[in-house]
């Protein structure tokens, strides 16, 4: 049966390569400023964040709403460490050039962003992961809000620039000029690949066991706290990298942008894609970004057909439409686009049901 | 020497004593059963042995070693497996994945494959359904899977909590066949049952529990013959 597994792997890799080439071509033909490229960039970043959230919410069964907080930590770690020395005086104009007086490369900074977020997660996880269900969600949500307020605190301004903008750090446009989509895809692809490896490992199986039945998992000798902590830290590591990528995408960074609404957007993506499906999260995140940035823009602009003003269409109506979508999804399509299956499992589903072969 | 020995075990849940000092022994290769009504403390006994509930006082010995204060993980590693009440298979994992979770603490990769095949030989039904999600199995199949999952930890003793609970009479028969099969492979079984009749017929030795105490013990035949047992657990009146 190994052969079939190999063939599937080759097909999967070919499809991934095709997507990369497509992204490359889109950028070359439409230009870096086009809407399609924006969607591909932001969609990829959100895909990573959604998959990291799915690792926690969908695979380990820990309902956490702290994603925006960990993204924020990642984004700030990245920006603070990469602002060029020459520009620091201008960026930190109210804080005498800030206290961080060195600059590191972009890729190391992305890694550090993940690590700092993971460290915070390890610290927060110790008390918070003893909570269950809704309580965990509330505690993590509260943490995200505290982080947002804390970063804007004037006393640590020399580090975070308070509530002022962070800018002039390397962005997507400067990372690989003209090839922003490819760059985003590569970073996101590596991260999601690592998460997939984790999910399919013994640890991943233990996560799913905990999700299905904590008591039985414990009776099998799985250390609950240890594994929950591990899932939490790893998820936040990638959320941190995702946050840093988002900062790169935005070009400027301000803590105020990372409100809990952002966590809900990602939760929406995860639920629409299907809890427990990596490919679902990826598909849903591109769909969601395409809708919110591009296809549903018309909902926010006042439109006149002749003399008739189309009712309801006004700034903000897009969000109303999204609320309706999530209600419909939760009520009627609880499993989302993919359920807990993966795109690459669809072909072998019939085999999976009745097959008697051992891997 | 007995494989598992419990002495004067006391367990309390927030001031209420669920076990008031029980002692019993399980010999190698035997089926030993604890019977008793709801709330007698049977499940608590199992949960304490497997380390899910801490003991207040008393000791638990396994192969002569004091395991009372071992964590669950270490207890599973030393060779005590548990089939929890209500089966508790991982519903969204496949049969095969469930079995692999059973081997979670083991590092001997090649032997794991061997043991999976061993479980499949024991329960061919599981092999047929190896790719099916465990939640879609019937109650009896889930019980097989729960036992198979326990076998995957390579235990010397399997503790089963109410395996016949909520299953049809015919399936219950299958369950007791499974227990006999386990015994024939040399496994030691500690069985908890409310179905006293079936349990007493299946076991080598039995203990009767009442509100946290062991009130009686003897071989299966002895207890089946006892009038007190017949009245209290087998539904026969002394007149009949």
pLDDT in tens, B135-162: 999 888 999 999 999 999 999 999 999 9
Predicted pLDDT at A337: 83
Strands (E), A167-323: 304-305, 308-309
User: Residues of A with CB below 8 A from B88's CB?
Assistant: 213, 215-216, 219
Confirm whether A322 is domain-assigned. Answer: no
**CA distance readout (Å), A6 to A2, A216, A320, B130, B200:** 6, 33, 46, 21, 53
Q: Which of A215, A353, A356 sits opposite B88 (nearest CB)?
A: A215
Mean pLDDT by 10 residues, chain A (359 residues): 71 88 87 87 95 94 93 95 90 86 92 97 93 91 93 90 90 85 93 94 93 90 93 97 95 90 90 91 92 80 77 78 82 83 67 35
Q: Which of A218, A355, A359 sits opposite B52 (nearest CB)?
A: A218
SS3 A349: helix
Domain of residue B47 covers 4-85+155-233
* Inter-chain CB proximity A220 and B101 less than 8 Å: yes
Q: Name residue B36's beta-bridge partners.
A: B209
Q: Does A223 touch chain B (CB under 8 A)?
A: yes
Confirm whether A350 is domain-assigned. Answer: no
Contacts of B176 (CB under 8 A, 6+ apart): B164, B198, B201, B202
Confirm whether B55 is domain-assigned. Answer: yes
Predicted pLDDT at A351: 39
Confirm whether B37 is domain-assigned. Answer: yes
Predicted pLDDT at B68: 92
Per the structure, how many domains does chain B have? Answer: 1
Q: Which of A208, A340, A353 sits opposite B131 (nearest CB)?
A: A353
Task: State the nearest Cα–Cα gap between B54 and chain A, in angstroms.
Answer: 14
Per the structure, how many domains does chain A have? Answer: 1
Q: Which long-range contacts (CB under 8 A, 24 or more apart) does A178-182 make?
A: A178/A27, A178/A28, A178/A32, A179/A24, A179/A27, A180/A27, A180/A32, A180/A37, A180/A41, A181/A23, A181/A24, A181/A26, A181/A27, A181/A37, A181/A40, A181/A41, A181/A44, A182/A20, A182/A23, A182/A24, A182/A27
Predicted pLDDT at A307: 79
Structure tokens at A105: 């490369």
Dist CA B21 CA B6 (whole Å): 10
b/e sequence A199-230, b meaning 16+ C-beta within 10 Å: beeebbbbbbbbbbbbebbbbbbbbbeebbbb
Predicted pLDDT at A269: 92
- CATH number of the domain encompassing residue B222: 3.40.50.300
Q: Does A1 touch chain B (CB under 8 A)?
A: no
Using CA coordinates, name the residue in chain B closest to A202.
Answer: B104
Dist CA A270 CA A279 (whole Å): 10
Confirm whether B135 is domain-assigned. Answer: no
Q: Which of A209, A221, A354 sits opposite B90 (nearest CB)?
A: A209
Confirm whether B59 is domain-assigned. Answer: yes
Confirm whether B184 is domain-assigned. Answer: yes
Dist CA A294 CA A297 (whole Å): 5
Segments in chain B below pLDDT 70: 1, 236-240
Confirm whether A221 is domain-assigned. Answer: yes
User: With contact defined as beta carbons under 8 Å apart, do A46 and A39 qualify?
Assistant: no
User: With contact defined as beta carbons under 8 Å apart, do B2 and B27 qualify?
Assistant: yes
Confirm whether B134 is domain-assigned. Answer: no
Domain of residue A231 covers 35-259
Predicted pLDDT at A277: 92
Predicted pLDDT at A4: 64
Predicted pLDDT at A3: 61
Predicted pLDDT at A249: 94
Dist CA A296 CA B184 (whole Å): 68
Q: Does B20 touch chain A (CB under 8 A)?
A: no
User: What length is written for chain A?
Assistant: 359
**CA distance readout (Å), A357 to B96, B123, B138:** 10, 15, 21
Dist CA B70 CA A18 (whole Å): 53
Confirm whether B120 is domain-assigned. Answer: no
Q: Does B100 touch chain A (CB under 8 A)?
A: yes
pTM across the whole model:
0.87
* Radius of gyration of chain B from its Cα atoms, rounded to whole angstroms: 18
Predicted pLDDT at A350: 41
CB atoms within 10 A of CB B225: 12
Task: State the nearest Cα–Cα gap between B162 and chain A, in angstroms.
Answer: 15
ipTM of the complex: 0.83
Predicted pLDDT at A30: 84
Confirm whether B147 is domain-assigned. Answer: no
Dist CA B84 CA A73 (whole Å): 42
From the list B89, B86, B66, the residue with the least C-alpha distance to B78 is B66
């Amino acid at each position: 049966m190994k052969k079939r597994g190999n063939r599937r792997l080759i097909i999967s890799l070919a499809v991934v390569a095709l997507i990369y080439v497509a992204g490359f071509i889109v950028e070359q033909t439409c230009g870096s400023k086009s809407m399609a490229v924006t969607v591909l960039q932001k969609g990829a970043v959100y895909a990573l964040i959604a998959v990291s959230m799915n690792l926690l919410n969908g695979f380990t069964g820990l309902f956490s709403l702290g994603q925006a907080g960990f993204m924020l930590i990642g984004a700030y770690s990245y920006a603070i460490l990469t602002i060029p020395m020459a520009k620091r005086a201008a960026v930190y104009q109210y804080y005498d050039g800030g206290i961080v007086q060195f600059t590191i490369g972009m890729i190391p900074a992305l890694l550090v962003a993940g690590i700092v977020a993971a460290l915070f997660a390890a610290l927060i996880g110790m008390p918070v992961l003893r909570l269950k269900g809704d309580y965990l969600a509330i505690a993590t949500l509260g943490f995200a809000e505290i982080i947002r307020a804390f970063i804007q605190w004037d006393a640590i301004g020399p580090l975070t620039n308070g509530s002022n903008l962070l800018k002039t750090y390397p962005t997507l446009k400067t990372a690989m000029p003209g090839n922003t989509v490819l760059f985003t895809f590569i970073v996101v692809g590596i991260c999601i690949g690592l998460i997939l490896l984790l999910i399919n490992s013994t640890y991943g199986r233990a996560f799913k066991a905990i999700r299905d039945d904590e008591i039985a998992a414990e009776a099998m000798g799985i250390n609950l706290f240890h594994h929950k902590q591990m899932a939490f830290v790893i998820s936040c590591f990638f959320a941190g990298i995702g946050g840093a990528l988002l900062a790169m995408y935005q070009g400027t960074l301000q803590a105020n942008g990372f409100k809990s609404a952002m966590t809900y957007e990602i939760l929406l993506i995860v639920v629409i894609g299907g809890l427990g499906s990596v490919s679902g999260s990826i598909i849903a995140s591109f769909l969601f970004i395409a809708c919110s940035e591009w296809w549903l823009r018309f909902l926010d602009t006042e439109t006149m057909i002749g003399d008739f003003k189309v009712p309801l269409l006004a700034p903000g109506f897009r969000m109303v439409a999204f609320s309706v979508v999530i209600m419909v999804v939760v009520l009627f399509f609880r499993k989302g686009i993919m359920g807990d299956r993966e795109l690459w499992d669809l072909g072998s589903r019939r085999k999976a049901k009745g097959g008697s072969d051992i891997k | 020497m007995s494989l598992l020995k419990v002495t004067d075990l006391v367990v309390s849940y927030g001031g209420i004593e669920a076990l008031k000092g029980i002692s019993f022994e399980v010999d190698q290769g035997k089926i030993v059963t604890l019977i008793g009504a709801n709330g007698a403390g049977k499940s608590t006994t199992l949960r304490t042995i497997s380390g899910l509930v801490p003991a207040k006082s008393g000791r638990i010995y396994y192969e002569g070693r004091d395991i009372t204060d071992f964590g669950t993980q270490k207890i599973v590693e030393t060779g005590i497996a548990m089939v929890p009440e209500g089966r508790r298979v991982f519903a969204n994992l496949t049969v095969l994945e469930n079995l692999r979770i059973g081997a979670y603490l083991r590092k001997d990769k090649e032997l794991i494959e061997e043991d999976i095949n061993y479980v499949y030989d024991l329960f061919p039904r599981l092999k047929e359904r190896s790719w099916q999600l465990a939640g879609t199995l019937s109650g009896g199949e889930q019980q097989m899977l729960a036992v198979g999952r326990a076998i995957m930890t390579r235990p010397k003793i399997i503790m089963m909590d109410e395996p016949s609970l909520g299953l049809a009479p015919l399936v219950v028969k299958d369950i007791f066949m499974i227990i006999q099969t386990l015994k024939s492979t040399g496994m030691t079984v500690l069985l908890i049952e409310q179905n006293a009749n079936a349990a007493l017929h299946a076991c080598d030795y039995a203990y009767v529990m009442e509100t946290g105490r062991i009130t009686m013990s003897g071989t299966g035949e002895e207890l089946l013959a006892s009038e007190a047992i017949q009245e209290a657990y087998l539904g026969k009146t002394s007149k009949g």
